[in-house]
Amino acid sequence: MPARITEETVHALINLIYEAAFDASQWPAFLRAFASAIETRGTIIYTHNFETLDASTASSEGFPNAVVGFDEQFMSVLEEYYNHVNVWAQNEAMLKPGRPVTGSMLYPERKLPKTEFYQDWLRPQDYFHAIGGIIMRDGPCAMKFSSLRSRRSGDFTAAEIRLYQTLLPHLARAANIQRRFVFLQGLSNASLALLDTVPAAIVLLDASGRALHSNAAAQTELRRGDPLLLSRSGDVTVRGAAHGQTALRAAIAAALDPVRSAKERRATVAQLPRRNGEMLSLQALALPQGQYSDLGCRFSRSLAACALVIHDGQARIPMVGAELLRHVYGLTPAEVQVAIAMAEGETLKRYAERRHISRNTASSQLKSAFQKTGLRRQSELVRWLLSSSAALQPGAIR
């Protein structure tokens, strides 16, 4: 490799790609670093439609579109007209995902100066040579990565083409990561918005007990400060006597270890008095952590680990508990029904007969409930439901 393209250069560019996958504002930094490595100026990631020849450089949360080294007005007219006469873009047969190409591969250099695309768009910007390719393609739509330089700089060398080819698969992975990340972010935002529609006050806590999110009802309750407060560090605290704080921490600790709590019959509920003497009931429920539950490291601590549900003195904890089994733990209505039936002392055989389903079906539903709540045995599930007041009154959901 030429001296300017070292292993350190390659590694730095790959690092920038994955940083940009999680922070789209970093894509221009990657483009500038790549342009510097191969001595180009105009560098771009954009979307292209092979059927309509439309191009778009507009930034999008789901796509890593970015531009450096091009005048904004030239990019505007490229989208409006000049991409339709772009002779490089018309050689679709040469443009395959993961395959780097140069302008000279796509269109004869001796003919390029005679084209409208060169005379009106490339030449005014002092561009002649290009390297590019397709990061990924979906039907007629492709995500492209291109970089241009002047005629004086010469065509791209084999080393520069190898660098480009090395980066293409990383760009494809990063694009998929970004799209997936945006999807999950949107799903998370929708879930949190849905949580605001739940009448119960709910605070999501991490494994250290620090608040990550409060729904609308919980924000109102915490602002009231009677007796629950949100400290500057993000901890939910209890105003007044120390035993209230102890009871709150004990309920949260019990929820974070449901298996141990079920065995030791540790309660995940607590009651705290308001200033007027009314009682406030708190219910702590562990959230499913899946593959991260046993990590025991700081990474897993940033995940929501526990839901603290706050009820006033008039609310019935059992009714809200079953709703949380559905909405927080993701249990289906059938899984909720079999779990509640077990907590009420009904046998699996009797439950299956009453529901007119096979025992295998009932057993499968119960097994799924174990997996989603993080418990392993029917006895643990029963004790946990009873200790957390998550069971409904008999017949309430049938």
pLDDT tops 80 at residue 379 = no
Specify the fold of 316-398.
Arc Repressor Mutant, subunit A (1.10.10)
For the whole model, what pTM was predicted? Answer: 0.61
pLDDT tops 80 at residue 287 = no
* Gap between the Cα atoms of 311 and 224, Å rounded: 14
The residue behind tokens 């849905």 is: 194
Q: What residues are paired with 204 via a beta bridge?
A: 213, 307
pLDDT tops 60 at residue 55 = yes
Q: Which residue has the higher pLDDT, 188 or 310?
A: 310
- 60: pLDDT confidence band, cut at 50, 70 and 90? low
Contact present, 258 and 383 (Cβ < 8 Å): no
Share of the chain above pLDDT 90, in %: 43
Q: Which residue has the higher pLDDT, 108 or 181?
A: 108
pLDDT tops 50 at residue 300 = no
pLDDT score for 392: 34
Average pLDDT, the chain: 83
What is 133-158 written as a DSSP string? EEEEEETTEEEEEEEEE-STT-SPPH
Two domains, one topology: 7-186 and 197-315: yes
Q: Which of 105-109, 126-130, 159-163, 371-375 has the lowest mean pLDDT?
A: 371-375
Q: Please give the DSSP secondary-structure letter assigned to residue 187.
A: H
pLDDT score for 114: 96
What Å distances lie between residue 198 and 76, 88, 215, 266, 340, CA to CA?
Answer: 47, 55, 8, 27, 21
* Gap between the Cα atoms of 151 and 128, Å rounded: 5
Out of 3.30.310.10, 3.40.50.1820, 3.40.640.10, 3.30.450.40, select the CATH number for domain 7-186: 3.30.450.40
pLDDT score for 320: 39
- Delimit the domains of the chain by residue range: 7-186, 197-315, 316-398
Contact present, 369 and 334 (Cβ < 8 Å): no
Q: Which residue has the higher pLDDT, 306 or 157?
A: 157
Q: Does residue 6 sit in helix, strand or coil?
A: coil
Share of the chain above pLDDT 70, in %: 84
Mean pLDDT score, 306-334 = 68
* Gap between the Cα atoms of 210 and 124, Å rounded: 58
pLDDT score for 387: 58
pLDDT tops 50 at residue 126 = yes
Q: Which residues of the chain form beta strands (DSSP E)?
A: 42-49, 55-56, 66-68, 101-102, 129-138, 141-149, 201-205, 211-214, 228-230, 236-238, 269-273, 279-286, 306-311
Contact present, 106 and 3 (Cβ < 8 Å): no
Mean pLDDT score, 10-31 = 94
pLDDT score for 184: 78
pLDDT tops 50 at residue 222 = yes
pLDDT score for 291: 41
Within 10 Å of residue 60's Cβ, how many Cβ atoms? 14
CA 190 to chain centre: 12
Specify the fold of 197-315.
Beta-Lactamase (3.30.450)
Q: Does residue 298 sit in helix, strand or coil?
A: helix
- 294: pLDDT confidence band, cut at 50, 70 and 90? very low
Mean pLDDT score, 154-175 = 95
Within 10 Å of residue 231's Cβ, how many Cβ atoms? 10
Beta-carbon contacts of residue 194 (< 8 Å; ≥ 6 apart):
327
Backbone φ and ψ for 143, nearest 5 degrees, come out as: -100, 120
* Gap between the Cα atoms of 239 and 10, Å rounded: 56
pLDDT score for 12: 96
Query: The tokens of 124 are what?
Result: 């005014």
pLDDT tops 60 at residue 314 = no
pLDDT score for 372: 78
Backbone φ and ψ for 83, nearest 5 degrees, come out as: -65, -25
* Gap between the Cα atoms of 268 and 384, Å rounded: 9
**pLDDT tens digits for range 156-165:** 999 999 999 9
